[in-house]
Amino acid sequence: MLDDFMTRATLAGIGVAFAAAPLGSFVVWRRMAYFGDATAHAAILGVALALALELSIFAGAMAVALAMALTVSALSGRGYAMDTLLGVLAHSALAFGLVAVSFLSGIRIDLMAYLFGDILAVSRGDLGVIWSGAALVVGLIGWRWSRLLTSTLSPDMAHAAGINPRHEQLILTLALAITVAVAIKVVGVLLIAAMLIVPAAAARPLARTPEAMALIAAGIGAASALVGLRAAYVLDTPAGPSIVCVAATAFALTGLYSVARKAR
């Protein structure tokens, strides 16, 4: 079954959607969208380093994404507004990454494959990495779910309940770095944040509890991967962006549904 490239691509897309749904919900609730962007953009530098040092792309991307996320966490609240800081770091990381890639002579690198993903080229090994990473992220967030939720609602309330919100922030940061690393192959560094945010945002009008929102986001993300890949195959469009387009359409539809429901 895994011999078919479309099957492998579909499974890869669904794996990323499952990891992105609970994490993406927290990214939306905590207003960390730009933080996700910065972490993802930094991963291109990780890709360049991994290629230069002949390490695995996954490890390189994850290490740099994690370093980026920790740097942002450490620098926040030290004089610059968060969005300025993230704007500087996200785009510099991307620029340094692109420059670093250009130094890599010898091997021809298809830069587009890392910027926009190359889901149709997912191998069995990639699939293993993607599903292990996704399982790790879902497990990590599931394990800390109530603590994360309490810290998100009110850091002080978390303290009073004996929870350290900084530890929970680190858990999210780690989950974000893993997700970025596994999603590079599927949607590429430029569209990872979209996979995090769009399905979660699309799920919002349909959910009454945080848990429901994460589950619905997983459903919307997986459906987007299925439909997007099919559309890419039929219409001969790039796969990663097609998946994001379908998710964006779902967002528009649930938004309209929400407006219509309120009008009644």
Partner 1 sequence: MSLITVENLSVRYGGHMALAHVDMTIEPGEIVTVVGPNGSGKTSLLRAIIGAVEPAAGRVTRKPGLRLGYVPQKLHIDPTLPITVERFLRLPGGISRTDCARALEQAGVPDLSGQQMSGLSGGQFQRVLLAHALIHRPDILLLDEATQGLDQPGSAAFYRRIEQVRRETGCAVLMISHELHVVMSASDRVICLNGHVCCEGTPEIVSSAPEYRALFGTGTGGALALYRHEHDHGHDHGHSHDHAHPHDHKTEAAE
Q: Does 150 bind partner 1 (CB under 8 A)?
A: yes
* Rounded distance between C-alpha atoms, residue 55 and residue 190, angstroms: 22
Q: At 8, is the secondary structure helix, strand, or coil?
A: helix
Only one of the segments 12-20, 84-92, 102-110, 149-157 lies at the binding site for partner 1 (rule: CB under 8 A); that segment is 149-157
Residue 252 in contact with partner 1, rule: CB under 8 A: no
How far apart are the C-alpha atoms of 9 and 5, rounded to whole Å?
6
Rule CB under 8 A: choose which of 112, 135, 157, 253 binds partner 1: 157
State the binding string over 14-43 for partner 1 (x if CB under 8 A, else -): --------------xxxx------------
Q: How far is the CB of 84 from partner 1 (least distance, A)?
A: 19
Least distance to partner 1, CB of residue 109, Å = 38
| Contact between 218 and partner 1 per CB under 8 A | no
Question: In the chain, how long is the greatest CA-to-CA distance?
Answer: 64
Which is nearer to partner 1, 31 or 124 (by Cβ)? Answer: 31
Q: Helix (H, G, I), strand (E, B), or coil: what is residue 4?
A: coil
Cβ proximity to partner 1: between 91 and 159 the closer is 159
Binder of partner 1 out of 81, 88, 112, 160 (CB under 8 A)? 160
Residue bearing tokens 């370093």? 67
Number of neighbouring beta carbons within 10 Å of residue 169: 18
Instruction: Look at residues 228, 239, 237 and name the one whose alpha carbon lies nearest to residue 188.
Output: 239
Q: Minimum distance from CB of 221 to partner 1 (Å)?
A: 16
Burial class (CB in 10 A: 0-12, 13-18, 19+), 218: buried
Asked if residue 158 binds partner 1 (CB under 8 A), the reply is yes
Give the torsion through C-alpha atoms of 138, 22, 11, 126, to 10 deg: -60
Answer yes or no: are the C-beta atoms of 25 and 199 closer than 8 Å: no
Binding stretches for partner 1 (CB under 8 A): 28-31, 146-147, 149-150, 152-163, 201, 204, 207-213
